[in-house]
């Protein structure tokens, strides 16, 4: 900028000096040039000084403008931030307002619906009131007609009463005469029989007492038979209701467990170098690990379901992790054993919760969980106990007993089986001891003690638990038995039925729950068929062992066959 002002000053000086030089002539050009040069230089200096002053003013003005611009930018930024905050607040207020509007609209719709419902209800009430008013009006009219009829009948009754009073007076007179005649007849009877009045009265009363004793015995026997029939019918109804309302799985796992593996190459890693992994696994878990030609699977074998379950979790975790060596196996076994304790407790809590039994102590819950791995004739004991609890509660509700106490007794009836393989004694004695140790109610202890012999029980709960236990154990498929013994039992049923005279054929059906007997109609009558069914049932009870009940059905039919030629 300064250079520009200098150049401008030189140009101005030259322009001013040019006319002056022309007028003076060429002779004095040198002197003039010097003067012009000095003037031009002075002029240039002055112009430069003015230019520098102007430049400084411009620079200061520019600095001031920059400061002002920065201040304006700061103010603009602050205003922008405030605008942003106000915009966000406005958005929040708008959303709140929309939410309030939606809520108010919903409230209004609900109030409108309630108003419409109340209006409809009021309309129905008015219609009902109108209908009742009409019925009341008709009833009043009917009562008025009835009152008129009663008035007429009352007049007739008054007339009849007058006639009856006359008859009663005549009958009273006749009664006096008859009494006198009766006394005379009694005196004649005493004279003829040579008995006094007291002796005759005693004979009559003794004869009457004997007749009444026979009548009373007949009536008592009939009442007992009717009560027994009603009790059996009511019991069958209650048991049928309980069976229909209960359906649960009661089967148990076998003695082996199959663990899938991702590939057959994993079998070599499970075996380990020189079989060290499989030896460590079997020694730590107590379970046999069978590795055969089964593709992508290995088999765990053990009679103890808890050990087998622990081994299964360990093997699945090792296969998923991929690191299989003795130290890792030992670590996973300890972890699985700790997890199994938690699993057993959770199974006990789940069983108690599903049975609706509350307030069990933690020790009993742990014992219930142990029954998850306990089987009886192939039936899972914990699931069996839960089913017995449901059945007992249903029957107790039908009989008006304490449902919660009945469910508790049903759930706890086999608690002794949780540790009967570890200590001496039957599961009944162990269960009674556990019930007393944990402070169970007397009804629960009585049900545990007598669920196999309810006739010796002291409460009704033992009878209900015994019935529910039989229902759960006797269902087809609930308990597993060998095929040979199953077939043998069916053959014995048919053989017993055929051994009676007059039986044509017999068939065991419904998994041995029923035996149908076909008799020869010319040798067995209808009355004899009833007796035959009773004799066959008695023979089955004496000679066979079976769960539940066996129904004996005797079929007698006559056929007339003729051929048209």
Give the span between the Cα atoms of 516 and 506, in whole angstroms. Answer: 6
Q: How far apart are the first and last CA of the chain?
A: 147
Token pair, residue 105, equals 């609209």
Q: Are strands 503-509 and 379-380 parallel, antiparallel or unpaired?
A: unpaired
Q: What is the largest CA-CA distance in the chain?
A: 218
Q: Cα-flanking dihedrals φ and ψ of residue 517, to 5°?
A: -115, 125
Neighbours of 422 (CB within 10 A): 8
Residue 258, beta-bridge partner list: 299
**How confident is the model at residue 22, as a pLDDT?**
47
Q: Are 5 and 50 in contact (CB under 8 A)?
A: yes
pLDDT tens-digit readout, 35-73: 777 887 888 788 788 888 887 888 888 888 888 888 888
Q: Are 432 and 440 in contact (CB under 8 A)?
A: no
3-state secondary structure of 57: helix
Rg (the chain; Cα; Å): 57
- How would you class 500 by CB atoms within 10 Å of its CB: exposed for 0-12, middle for 13-18, buried for 19 or more? middle
Give the span between the Cα atoms of 233 and 120, in whole angstroms. Answer: 48
| Sign of the C-alpha dihedral computed for residues 485, 479, 304 and 440 taken in this order | negative
Token pair, residue 295, equals 């593709």
**How confident is the model at residue 20, as a pLDDT?**
47
Give the span between the Cα atoms of 514 and 494, in whole angstroms. Answer: 10
pLDDT tens-digit readout, 186-223: 666 656 555 566 766 677 677 666 666 666 656 666 67
Give the span between the Cα atoms of 207 and 28, in whole angstroms. Answer: 197
**How confident is the model at residue 408, as a pLDDT?**
92
**How confident is the model at residue 106, as a pLDDT?**
86
Give strand ranges (E) for 160-216: none
Residues of the chain where predicted confidence (pLDDT) is lower than 70: 1-33, 182, 185-197, 199-201, 204, 207-222, 224, 227-255, 303, 377-378, 474-484, 486, 510-511, 547-548, 559, 561, 565
Distances (CA, A) of 95 to 6, 89, 387, 402, 432: 69, 10, 55, 56, 67
Q: Which residue pairs from 358-367 have beta carbons closer than 8 angstroms and sit at least 24 positions apart in sequence?
A: 358/404, 361/438, 361/439, 363/438, 364/412, 364/415, 364/434, 364/438, 367/415, 367/418, 367/419, 367/434
Distances (CA, A) of 556 to 33, 127, 455, 501, 533: 165, 63, 37, 14, 11
Give the span between the Cα atoms of 508 and 494, in whole angstroms. Answer: 6
Report pTM: 0.45
- How would you class 6 by CB atoms within 10 Å of its CB: exposed for 0-12, middle for 13-18, buried for 19 or more? middle
């Amino acid at each position: 900028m300064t250079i520009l002002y200098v150049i401008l000053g030189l140009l101005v000086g030259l322009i001013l000096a040019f006319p002056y030089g022309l007028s003076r002539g060429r002779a004095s050009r040198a002197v003039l040039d010097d003067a012009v040069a000095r003037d031009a230089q002075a002029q240039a200096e002055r112009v430069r000084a003015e230019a520098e002053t102007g430049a400084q003013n411009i620079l200061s003005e520019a600095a001031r403008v920059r400061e002002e611009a920065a201040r304006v930018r700061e103010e603009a930024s602050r205003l922008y931030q405030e605008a942003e905050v106000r915009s966000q607040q406005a958005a929040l207020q708008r959303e709140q307002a929309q939410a309030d509007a939606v809520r108010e609209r919903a409230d209004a719709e609900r109030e409108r619906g309630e108003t419409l419902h109340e209006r409809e209800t009021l309309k129905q009430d008015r219609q009902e009131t109108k209908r009742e008013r009409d019925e009341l009006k008709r009833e009043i009219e009917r009562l008025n007609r009835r009152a008129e009829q009663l008035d007429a009948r009352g007049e007739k009754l008054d007339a009849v009463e007058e006639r009856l009073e006359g008859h009663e007076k005549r009958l009273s007179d006749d009664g006096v005469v008859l009494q006198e005649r009766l006394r005379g007849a009694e005196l004649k009877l005493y004279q003829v029989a040579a008995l006094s009045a007291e002796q005759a009265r005693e004979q009559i009363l003794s004869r009457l007492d004997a007749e009444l004793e026979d009548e009373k015995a007949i009536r008592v026997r009939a009442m007992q038979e009717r009560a027994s029939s009603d009790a059996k019918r009511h019991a069958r109804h209650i048991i049928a209701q309980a069976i229909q309302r209960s359906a649960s799985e009661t089967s148990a796992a076998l003695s082996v467990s199959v663990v899938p593996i991702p590939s057959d190459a994993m079998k070599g890693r499970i075996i380990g170098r020189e079989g060290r992994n499989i030896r460590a696994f079997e020694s730590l878990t107590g379970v046999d690990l069978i590795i055969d030609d089964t593709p992508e699977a290995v088999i765990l074998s053990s009679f103890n379901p808890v050990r087998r379950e622990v081994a299964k979790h360990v093997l699945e975790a090792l296969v998923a992790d991929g690191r299989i060596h003795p130290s890792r196996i030992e670590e996973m076994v300890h972890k699985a054993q700790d997890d199994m304790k938690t699993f057993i407790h959770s199974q006990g809590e789940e069983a108690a919760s599903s049975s609706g039994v509350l307030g069990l102590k933690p020790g009993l819950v742990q014992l219930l969980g142990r029954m998850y791995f306990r089987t009886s004739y192939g039936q899972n004991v914990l699931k069996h106990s839960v089913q017995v609890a449901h059945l007992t509660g249903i029957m107790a509700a039908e009989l008006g007993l304490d449902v919660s106490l009945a469910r508790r007794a049903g759930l706890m009836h086999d608690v002794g089986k949780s540790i009967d393989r570890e200590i001496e004694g039957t599961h009944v004695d162990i269960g009674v001891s556990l019930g007393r140790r944990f402070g169970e109610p007397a009804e629960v202890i009585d049900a545990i003690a007598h669920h196999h012999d309810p006739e010796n029980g002291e409460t009704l709960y033992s009878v209900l638990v015994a019935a529910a236990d039989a229902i759960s154990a006797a269902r087809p498929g609930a308990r597993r038995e060998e095929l040979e013994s199953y077939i043998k039992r069916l053959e014995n049923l048919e053989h017993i039925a055929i051994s009676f005279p007059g039986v044509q054929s017999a068939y065991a059906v419904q998994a041995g729950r029923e035996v149908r007997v076909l008799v020869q109609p010319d040798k067995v009558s209808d009355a004899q068929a009833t007796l035959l069914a009773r004799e066959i049932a008695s023979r089955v009870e004496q000679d066979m062992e079976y769960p539940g009940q066996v129904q004996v059905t005797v079929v007698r039919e006559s056929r007339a066959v003729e051929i048209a030629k």
